[in-house]
A and B are shown apart, each in its own frame.
Chain A
């Protein structure tokens, strides 16, 4: 998601006009290359003023640009803070946004800016002043910055309206070029574009860092049922749209509308609509079968294609870029170690891939740091004790668990205490209790006191009785 917040504080007539012309050109370019882009327009004088909230109606922004009034007050730091807050409120921290800052001159110490923003994206500082700015080294404080870049843009000197317009053209061509590539599955393929544009991904692990880039050929490796896929984390999500070759576009003449809505254009789009597209076929089948296609999007980088419907029930093909690397979905195992077997294994056999280790919460260990932990373990033993002989096995199992843990932790006084508790429990048994109960309790208490039971590998066995 590239989102533009434009910042204005342009004083005399000439730079403002040039900026408006340049931005109109840029908006035309955006409207053409990235139709789903949201743009917002803000200014700052004494406080941040949102002139146009985020919208895809770029004409509204164009109109509002013409109404910009100048003011003599400006505070860049406060303005940027306001912009950051605005974007975080609207989009959160995960969606890349571009901030295009248009200022007249270099009256700010760049080092004092609170940058980078806590969202990924770019900040373009477009300085229209006559002086050439030194390339500012901006402060970096946050690990998030790796996906945030700051660009300083200036028109060529001597500054002219034409130079300003050219600067915005350059910005548009470089940062708002629409991505196009191929979605491939064996011999079937579709020319596609992704919205928003895919970005390279930077990843640091304990031992290395890597920049992963997106291939132009997104090749499907095979298919996976959604129930096996879970909801894996994605670094970004993109709509997969069939690529439509650009209609003739005139960068100049910002007032003109796209010429495509005439008769001939319609015929063409009608034709395209009736040419079978692999994209549409794939989407239909993924939706019906509740499946996803795993595709390789870069070196050691995978993506997942699935059918996605927004709240309005319009269905679309979505591509999630997974975390780069081979272990992005742990329960599928190594992503580079999948294959299509000649015969599919039984449904529950293959997935999920069982991890080597068992987590503490499924290990039945003890947790005695808090007293309640010890107390509930002992109460459990006593509960079973009173139900001997039905619960003899459970009684010894719990007894041995506590005893073994106590040995490991060097908590020998607990074992003695447990013996005492069992002895006392014996004396408290009501007369209706099964006789085996007293015998087993006495046996267990003795065994606990026995020195052999200080060995953690030893297990106390029930006394054999022939009742």
Chain B
């Protein structure tokens, strides 16, 4: 139904930014300190007699390393997985600083590797003629690591799922080097192409390696001679190349910033008007701007709808080749963490100038758990809140908020529909139920199956006997008499002590009834239907519902044990009082019980346990007194549990099903022991 055209998918699937390789020139030339002097003498205004300090300068090596590291910083801040970057350093041979494995895709790992590589060797220091310093070593290494599968590529290539899209191995190589003329660029391209052809041939004959389908080769030429840029062009089917000439330091950094925005489809937002207190003067506050990068999609709500005047908020960033969108800080008021904003997308952000004071101020504000709304001025001057900045577990996200008209305006109230006029829902109880069924992450290893499969059984059980309104239940309204039985019975397994507690609860109820103590409704603030019922009626309803409740929860032996206890004491109780009651009264009571049972059957689940009252027994009036006597009182001693009950499975409708002679099928008894085995078969054990 929704199948996009194939060329569209080709563009979105398998992007080149999955695998990026930096090739850094580590030849002696890059060790030379060039221009970019850094003034770091701040003491000019100090007392006389001091020695002025010479400014320091960065080498080309330092410039290229810090720009490449900054590129990684931005990419990894915004994309925690799937955007992999490797470093290759080239001098008289190649050095590969990290692997595709995610554990080595961190700044710390890279910086350690760079520290070990150190600065480029000084010129003419090593007269060994076998050591040829060249960037070409790096090209060769880059091709061989392009042919290494990443974990994701490997997973897809080896997937047995026939719907898996075949992997296209696109890669990007960013080579920071220095050349003197255009011929050298062509040389580099040809070298790269021949390495690719060799590498692909080798990869094709290997199971583990993956040939390169397309390599984007970006040459950043730093150095004294500024060559004319060469735009993207096709060198061969598998190689596209471009060249940018840049001045050192600032030039290189600016170029890489523009490139990363393009490579990962990012955009810039300048948060303006952030009020910050001055350290010296806490009473006044000044306004600052902070620029952040994020995936360009975060701006979609602004640009896709034409309600915002784009020209008004979008401006070319000074000294750079890209645009930034200015949004205003909106002081958060009355925002609670539990508010659900109408958020259409969320993306990670990273500050452009990570250590500047305004940036760290904003970051700390957000990491501290507060959030910031960003405001955009729409056409016609109306202000809208377009974004929300907030941190979740130490990572900062930009939430895009819907700014158009809502299709949900003027909705019908929930009270107008089905169930809307019912006023005695057990809201508080359902709140407790929700608290007891909160979701939490599973600690530890990788999981199979889905969350629902894991929680379904529990939710099924907890809702098995769950009257929705106060007027349709008794036991849940008399919680102070019923606990802990209502809670304990929900547990999947009962301890002996739990059973004892439940039994005690039943006994104490029996005691209350015998003492003619009326039941008091607990004051929970819930609105109950104030139906006045007699004390006897109260107890009758209570016992009937409790029995239904217990029957619904007969999942183990011990659960059944509690039910049996109830049935037992109720019967004995009846026999004790029998001699005071004449037969007419008994029959009348029976009728009432009968009516009661029919009413309760809506909410009760019955079982076919041997002890359950015979359903026919209640519905027929044609029994003799003797039959009544026999059926009601001639089983004072309940039989021991049917063994099958302990292994019984709960079926829909509350019925229990036990498999008889289970071991017959599973384990055919050895012929010699046949007789013995069959004697262990659970059967009805009578008295």
Contact = CB atoms under 8 A, between A and B. Distances in A.
Contacts of B15: 206
A28 interface: no
B3, B107, B407, B458: residue with the most chain A Cβ atoms closer than 10 Å: B407
A233 B399 contact: yes
A136 interface: no
Interface stretch (B171-179, B267-275, B418-426, B558-566): B418-426
Interface in B468-504: 468-469, 472
A143 B156 CA distance: 23
Most chain B Cβ neighbours within 10 Å, of A225, A231, A416, A428:
A231
Interface string B369-413: 000000000000000000010101111100110111111111111
**Interface of chain A: mostly helix, strand, loop or mixed:** mixed
Interface in B17-52: 18, 31, 33, 38-43, 46-47, 50-51
B412 A241 contact: yes
B: interface residue count bin = 35 or more
Interface in A3-58: 3, 35-36, 38, 54, 56
Nearest to B424: A276
B107 A379 contact: no
A331 B50 CA distance: 55
Interface stretch (B128-136, B439-447, B634-642): B439-447
Please provide the 8 A-B residue pairs with the shortest distance between their CB atoms, ordered closest to farther: A277-B419, A92-B404, A93-B304, A186-B463, A352-B393, A1-B407, A273-B421, A226-B338
Most buried by A among B12, B357, B416, B417: B417
B419 A272 contact: yes
B468 A281 contact: yes
26 contacts: A95-B404, A144-B304, A145-B4, A186-B461, A187-B460, A206-B82, A206-B152, A223-B435, A225-B338, A227-B337, A233-B400, A242-B417, A244-B418, A280-B419, A281-B426, A284-B427, A296-B450, A316-B408, A341-B440, A365-B355, A367-B353, A382-B42, A409-B65, A413-B33, A414-B38, A424-B50
A435 interface: no
Contacts of A382: 42
Interface string B272-316: 000000000000000000000000000011001111000000000
Interface string A336-373: 11111100110000111111111111110111111111
Contacts of A294: 439, 451
A204 interface: yes
Interface stretch (B341-349, B505-513, B538-546): B341-349
B413 A314 contact: yes
Contacts of B585: none
Contacts of B611: none
A410 B404 contact: no
A339 B62 contact: no
A85 interface: yes
Contacts of B452: 219, 221, 296
A292 B392 CA distance: 18
Given A92-B404, A204-B12, A375-B42, A367 B355 contact: yes
A275 B156 contact: no
A72 B425 CA distance: 62
A89 B455 contact: no
A146 interface: yes
A145 B3 CA distance: 10
Contact of B111 (A89, A279, A300, A408): A408
Contact of A379 (B42, B438, B455): B42
A190 B463 CA distance: 14
Contacts of B421: 270, 273-274
B103 to A, nearest CB: 9
A231 B405 contact: no
B307 A222 contact: no
B466 interface: yes
Q: Which residue, B340, B454, B469, has most C-beta atoms of chain A within 10 A? A: B340
Nearest to A377: B355
Nearest to A243: B418
A223 to B, nearest CB: 4
Given A221-B451, A410-B62, A456-B115, A94 B106 contact: no
B362 to A, nearest CB: 9
Q: Pick the most buried of A207, A314, A370: most chain B CB atoms within 10 A of its CB.
A: A207
A101 B304 CA distance: 22
A211 B1 contact: yes
Contacts of A283: 414
Contact of A355 (B42, B394, B410, B422): B394
B8 interface: yes
A324 interface: no
Interface string A119-143: 1000000000000000000001001
Contact of B462 (A186, A296, A376): A186
B414 A38 contact: no
A217 to B, nearest CB: 10
A317 interface: yes
A361 B120 CA distance: 30
Nearest to B108: A363
Given A207-B165, A231-B388, A351-B441, 12 more contacts: A207-B167, A241-B414, A272-B418, A272-B419, A308-B340, A310-B408, A332-B441, A335-B451, A338-B455, A408-B112, A421-B40, A421-B41
Interface string A371-400: 111111111001000000000000000000
Interface stretch (B70-78, B222-230, B586-594): B70-78
B437 interface: yes
Nearest to A370: B353
A330 B392 contact: yes
B28 to A, nearest CB: 13
A357 B413 contact: no
A461 interface: no
A345 B418 CA distance: 37
A450 interface: no
A293 to B, nearest CB: 8
B441 A369 contact: no
A278 interface: yes
A224 interface: yes
Contacts of B396: 359, 361
A173 B403 CA distance: 31
Given A340-B438, A413-B33, A233 B451 contact: no
A207 B399 contact: no
B350 interface: yes
A147 interface: yes
B114 A146 contact: no
A224 B412 contact: no
Contacts of A373: 353, 355-356
Given A317-B414, A337-B441, A378-B40, A146 B354 contact: no
Contacts of B77: 359-361
A416 B4 CA distance: 60
B200 interface: no
A171 interface: no
B70 A369 contact: yes
Contact of A229 (B5, B340, B459): B340
A91 B468 contact: no
B451 A296 contact: yes
Interface in A192-221: 195-196, 200, 202, 204, 206-209, 211, 219-221
Interface in A404-449: 404-405, 407-414, 416-417, 420-421, 424, 427-428
Contacts of A211: 1-3
A412 B438 contact: no
B1 A200 contact: yes
Of A354, A360, A404, chain B has the most CB atoms within 10 Å of the CB of: A360
Nearest to B42: A379
A444 B59 CA distance: 25
B430 A118 contact: no
Nearest to A312: B410
Contact of A185 (B13, B41, B61, B463): B463
Contact of A278 (B406, B415, B468): B468
B351 interface: yes
